[in-house]
């Protein structure tokens, strides 16, 4: 039995040995055969390289699908110095189609071609523009030179057609041909709406970097992930390149038509009231979605290189989020909210206005310098009495007052998803530049710095039943066929819902009693004006230069929109009630139309059915 197993094992071993010998013989035959030579030649001719492929940048849309930022194909046009035959022809074609100077282009091509043949190009003018650290240790040898980049597709197509036509007409295959002229396509950011919402979008530079706004804040998402792939150097041997997902597409909360209306109304307001600049923001107080954000100045994003001509510093690109200022009497809303919530006052608490009050050793007077006599808290808001609100803040006390202001978000970033936000400044006891008088002046918006978006966030706690919403401009993400919606976020509840509802009613009645120019027929609106003197470099206030503001929301029983208006240094009138208030009314009228918000009577009739 053992003999049988031994015989079988020897037989199998012998078989495996024969197979091994056969394999070795075959390998040797391949190595020394013509087939091996052919295989080696195939490998050599199919040299590969590791290339990085960049996905197309994600597009940006408004909430209704209007394209705000996309991509277009442009071309890099250059000359291959190894294959060029007629430098004059190429220089002439480039001067006609690309607007280049013929003599300079011809001199550049000839100089680089000569130095390329010599193998040393360091002495050329072209080489002088290359950083020394990018010049190889063995010297700079040029094979290709770029004549122009970001060439429009139409210009590049005409050049390509001309190249083909010249080649066909050339008798000797050399004179007049454009051999050596090469084209490389790549994407370029494009903005179909030009300057519309430029302050929100930001822009992409030619190096592919996002600046300001959405383009900077979400640059990583928009840019996508580059992919490295091994590809043949011979384009005729190209293989299929793996699918490279585009960058993430973003859908914004912006309403394109409302944004356009806000920009138009703002431009008209600057002209009508002689203001040097301005801002209008429309936000949904229920969820913090920014529906429109118009500022001045604006720029055509397709001509981003003009940035330095239009703006002196980065804070001017979007003042709505990056330029804190003393908001003035719109701040009285927050002071009254704190006092009502704290129980320091009620809407009917009496106050006798003598026209001045002493706080921290300084005398504070009303905006008109007059005494208004017997009032209640509603009258204090309606007549915007500095003395009354300063009295309220001193009754609250510094700890309680600044505690509420901190909870409202002053002195903090709102967290809005736009690059370049500023935090403003809320001085508090203990700070080196805080003085007891600040408790009085802060109550009516002097000595405190806030951005328009901070004011909207703070006041949203009143329009939204005591809950503060965080403003945002991103509505949804689109990635490989899937949509991810961005949820609303809230920053706390600094006041009770009862306080918020009661103050809203007071602000509505206040506007009605004074027949405010902010009123919108058919809708109950709540809001407050603000007129703040502008501080000078000397530390004093300019009596004739103001920031005029208005913040309001509606409909009162079911708020759907909040609007903030800021006009910088209006000259037709310095008062917010005569400038910012009517701008609010115009913007509110456009808003209810574009958002299809029925008048109060219609909504109440629908509810009653």
Is 42 buried (19+), middle (13-18) or exposed (0-12) by CB count in 10 A?
A: exposed
Q: Can you tell me the distance from the alpha carbon of 20 to that of 360, in angstroms, rounded to the nearest whole number? A: 103
The 10s digit of each residue's pLDDT in 429-469 is: 999 999 999 999 999 999 999 999 999 999 999 999 999 99
260 Rama sector, left if φ>0, alpha if ψ -120 to 50, beta otherwise: alpha
Q: Can you tell me the distance from the alpha carbon of 467 to that of 460, in angstroms, rounded to the nearest whole number? A: 7
Q: Which residues contact 408 (CB under 8 A, 6 or more apart)?
A: 334, 337, 458, 461, 468, 494
Higher pLDDT, 508 or 152: 508
Number of domains composing the chain: 3
Cβ neighbours around 6 below 10 Å, total: 10
Q: Which residues contact 188 (CB under 8 A, 6 or more apart)?
A: 71, 72, 73, 74, 150, 206
Q: Which percentage of the chain shows pLDDT scores above 90?
A: 62
Residue 330 within any structural domain of the chain:
yes
Q: Is the pLDDT of residue 171 over 80?
A: no
Higher pLDDT, 599 or 604: 599
- Residues 164, 273 share a domain: no
Q: Which residues contact 436 (CB under 8 A, 6 or more apart)?
A: 359, 360, 361
Q: What is the mean pLDDT of residues 111-135?
A: 58
**36-45, 104-113, 379-388, 598-607: which has the highest mean pLDDT?**
379-388
Q: How many residues does the chain have?
A: 609
Cβ neighbours around 412 below 10 Å, total: 15
Residue 214 within any structural domain of the chain:
no
Q: Is the pLDDT of residue 130 over 70?
A: no
- CA 357 vs. chain centroid, Å, equals 45
- Residues 161, 87 share a domain: yes
- Residues 124, 22 share a domain: no
* pLDDT confidence of residue 100: 85
Question: What DSSP letter does each residue of 37-67 carry, written as one string?
Answer: HHHHHHHHHT-EEEEEEPPPPPPEE-TTS-E
- Residues 299, 418 share a domain: yes
405: part of which helix (H) or strand (E)?
helix 398-408
Backbone angles phi, psi at 108, to 5 degrees: -60, -45
171 DSSP assignment: S
Q: How confident is the model at residue 43 (pLDDT cuts 50, 70, 90)?
A: very low
Q: Is the pLDDT of residue 238 over 80?
A: no
- Residues 596, 465 share a domain: yes
Q: Can you tell me the distance from the alpha carbon of 151 to that of 133, in angstroms, rounded to the nearest whole number? A: 28
Q: What is the CA radius of gyration of the chain?
A: 35
Q: Is the pLDDT of residue 73 over 90?
A: no
**C-alpha distance from residue 526 to each of 276, 342, 381, 575 (Å):** 27, 21, 12, 19
Q: What is the mean pLDDT of residues 226-233?
A: 69
**Alpha-carbon torsion 60, 61, 62, 68, what sign?**
positive
* pLDDT confidence of residue 185: 78
Residue 210 within any structural domain of the chain:
no
- Residues 111, 28 share a domain: no
Q: Can you tell me the distance from the alpha carbon of 183 to that of 185, in angstroms, rounded to the nearest whole number? A: 7
* pLDDT confidence of residue 37: 54
Q: What is the mean pLDDT of residues 225-248?
A: 68
- Residues 29, 146 share a domain: no
Q: How confident is the model at residue 41 (pLDDT cuts 50, 70, 90)?
A: low
* pLDDT confidence of residue 488: 92
Is 559 buried (19+), middle (13-18) or exposed (0-12) by CB count in 10 A?
A: buried
Least confident of 168-182, 407-421, 435-449, 576-590: 168-182
Q: How confident is the model at residue 39 (pLDDT cuts 50, 70, 90)?
A: very low
Residue 240 within any structural domain of the chain:
no
Considering only CA atoms, which of 564, 562, 592 is closest in space to residue 285?
Answer: 562
The CATH number linked to 415 is: 3.40.710.10
- Residues 541, 603 share a domain: yes
- Residues 38, 158 share a domain: no
Q: How confident is the model at residue 176 (pLDDT cuts 50, 70, 90)?
A: low
Q: Can you tell me the distance from the alpha carbon of 333 to that of 455, in angstroms, rounded to the nearest whole number? A: 10
Q: Which percentage of the chain shows pLDDT scores above 70?
A: 83
**Alpha-carbon torsion 56, 58, 59, 65, what sign?**
positive
* pLDDT confidence of residue 19: 61
* pLDDT confidence of residue 129: 53
The 10s digit of each residue's pLDDT in 566-578 is: 999 999 999 999 9
Higher pLDDT, 232 or 474: 474
Q: What token pair was written down for 581?
A: 């208030």
* pLDDT confidence of residue 50: 67
Considering only CA atoms, which of 314, 299, 303, 77 is closest in space to residue 189?
Answer: 303
Q: What is the mean pLDDT of residues 114-134?
A: 56
Q: What is the mean pLDDT of the chain?
A: 86
| Strand pairing category for 144-151 and 60-61 | unpaired
Q: Is the pLDDT of residue 160 over 50?
A: yes
Q: What is the mean pLDDT of residues 293-304?
A: 96
Residue 594 within any structural domain of the chain:
yes
* pLDDT confidence of residue 94: 82
* pLDDT confidence of residue 87: 81
Higher pLDDT, 119 or 274: 274
Least confident of 221-230, 246-255, 262-271: 221-230
- Residues 460, 421 share a domain: yes
Q: Can you tell me the distance from the alpha carbon of 441 to that of 393, in angstroms, rounded to the nearest whole number? A: 9
Query: Which residue do the tokens 């094979």 mark?
Result: 143
Please tell me whether residue 208 adopts helix, strand or coil conformation: coil
Higher pLDDT, 592 or 37: 592
Q: Can you tell me the distance from the alpha carbon of 319 to that of 266, in angstroms, rounded to the nearest whole number? A: 14
The 10s digit of each residue's pLDDT in 342-367 is: 999 999 999 999 999 999 999 999 99
* pLDDT confidence of residue 25: 62
Residue 57 within any structural domain of the chain:
no
Q: Can you tell me the distance from the alpha carbon of 593 to that of 599, in angstroms, rounded to the nearest whole number? A: 10
- Residues 359, 482 share a domain: yes
Q: Which residues contact 209 (CB under 8 A, 6 or more apart)?
A: 219
Q: What is the mean pLDDT of residues 68-73?
A: 91
* pLDDT confidence of residue 239: 54
Query: How would you write 245-312 as a 3-class SS string?
Result: CCCCEEEECCCHHHHHHHHHHHHHHHHHHCCCEEEEEEECCCCCEEEEEEECCCCCHHHHHHHHHHCC
Domain carrying residue 11: 2-45
- Residues 280, 163 share a domain: no
Structural domain ending residue among the three candidates 170, 189, 208:
189
- Cβ atoms of 527 and 518 within 8 Å: the answer is yes
Q: Mark out the alpha helices in 132-209 (DSSP H runs).
A: 153-169, 198-201
* pLDDT confidence of residue 287: 96
- CA 176 vs. chain centroid, Å, equals 49
Residue 181 within any structural domain of the chain:
yes
Q: What is the mean pLDDT of residues 181-210?
A: 90
Q: Mark out the alpha helices in 99-228 (DSSP H runs).
A: 102-118, 125-128, 153-169, 198-201, 213-217, 219-223
Backbone angles phi, psi at 85, to 5 degrees: -120, -35
Residue 107 within any structural domain of the chain:
yes
């Amino acid at each position: 039995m053992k003999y049988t197993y031994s015989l079988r094992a020897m037989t199998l071993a012998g078989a495996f040995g024969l197979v091994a010998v056969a394999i070795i013989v075959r390998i040797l035959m391949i190595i020394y055969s013509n087939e091996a030579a052919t295989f080696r030649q195939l490998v050599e001719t199919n040299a590969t390289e590791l290339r990085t492929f960049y996905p197309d940048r994600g597009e940006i849309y408004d909430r209704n699908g209007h394209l705000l930022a996309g991509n277009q194909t442009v071309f890099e046009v250059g000359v291959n110095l190894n294959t060029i035959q007629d430098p004059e022809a190429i220089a002439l074609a480039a001067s006609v189609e690309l607007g280049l100077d013929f003599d300079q282009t011809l001199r550049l091509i000839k100089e680089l071609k000569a130095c390329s043949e010599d193998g040393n190009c360091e002495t050329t003018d072209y080489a002088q523009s290359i950083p020394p650290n990018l010049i190889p240790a063995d010297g700079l040898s040029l094979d290709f030179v770029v004549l122009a980049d970001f060439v429009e597709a139409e210009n590049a197509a005409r050049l390509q057609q001309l190249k083909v036509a010249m080649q066909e007409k050339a008798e000797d295959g050399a004179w007049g041909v454009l051999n050596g002229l090469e084209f490389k396509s790549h994407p370029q950011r494009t903005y179909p709406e030009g300057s519309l919402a430029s302050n929100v979008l930001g822009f992409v530079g030619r190096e592919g970097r996002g600046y300001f706004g959405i383009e900077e804040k979400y640059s990583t998402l928009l840019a996508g992930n580059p992919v490295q792939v091994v590809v043949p150097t011979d384009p005729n041997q190209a293989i299929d390149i793996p699918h490279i997902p585009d960058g993430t597409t973003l859908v914004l909360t912006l309403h394109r038509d409302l944004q356009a209306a806000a920009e138009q109304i703002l431009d008209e307001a600057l002209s009508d009231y002689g203001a040097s600049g301005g801002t209008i923001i429309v936000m949904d107080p229920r969820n913090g979605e920014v529906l429109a954000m118009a500022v001045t100045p604006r720029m055509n994003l397709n001509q981003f290189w003009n940035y330095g001509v239009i703006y002196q510093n980065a804070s001017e690109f979007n003042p709505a989020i990056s330029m804190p200022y003393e908001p003035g009497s719109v701040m009285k809303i927050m002071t009254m909210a704190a006092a009502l919530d704290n129980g320091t006052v009620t809407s009917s608490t009496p106050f006798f206005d003598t026209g001045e009050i002493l706080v921290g050793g300084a005398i504070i007077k009303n905006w008109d310098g007059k005494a208004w006599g017997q009032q209640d808290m509603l009258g204090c808001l309606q007549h915007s009495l500095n003395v009354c609100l300063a009295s309220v803040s001193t009754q609250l006390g510094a700890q309680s007052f600044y505690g509420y202001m901190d909870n409202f978000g002053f002195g903090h970033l709102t967290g809005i998803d736009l690059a370049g936000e500023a935090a403003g400044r809320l001085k508090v006891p203990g700070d080196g530049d805080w003085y007891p008088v600040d408790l009085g002046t802060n109550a009516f918006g002097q000595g405190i710095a806030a951005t328009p978006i901070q004011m909207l966030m703070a006041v949203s706690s009143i329009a939204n039943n005591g809950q503060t919403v965080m403003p945002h401009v991103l509505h949804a993400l689109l990635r490989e066929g899937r949509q991810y919606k961005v949820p609303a976020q809230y920053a706390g509840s600094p006041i009770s819902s009862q306080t918020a509802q009661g103050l809203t009613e007071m602000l509505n009645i206040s506007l009605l009693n004074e027949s405010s120019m902010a009123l919108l027929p058919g809708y109950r609106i709540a809001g407050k004006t603000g007129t703040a003197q502008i501080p000078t470099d000397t530390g004093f206030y300019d009596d004739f230069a103001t920031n005029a503001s208005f913040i309001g929301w509606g409909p009162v029983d079911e708020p759907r929109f909040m609007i903030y208006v800021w006009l910088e240094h209006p000259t037709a009138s310095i008062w917010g009630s005569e400038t910012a208030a009517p701008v609010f009314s115009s913007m509110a009228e456009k808003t209810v139309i574009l958002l299809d918000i029925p008048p109060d009577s219609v909504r109440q009739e629908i509810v009653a059915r």
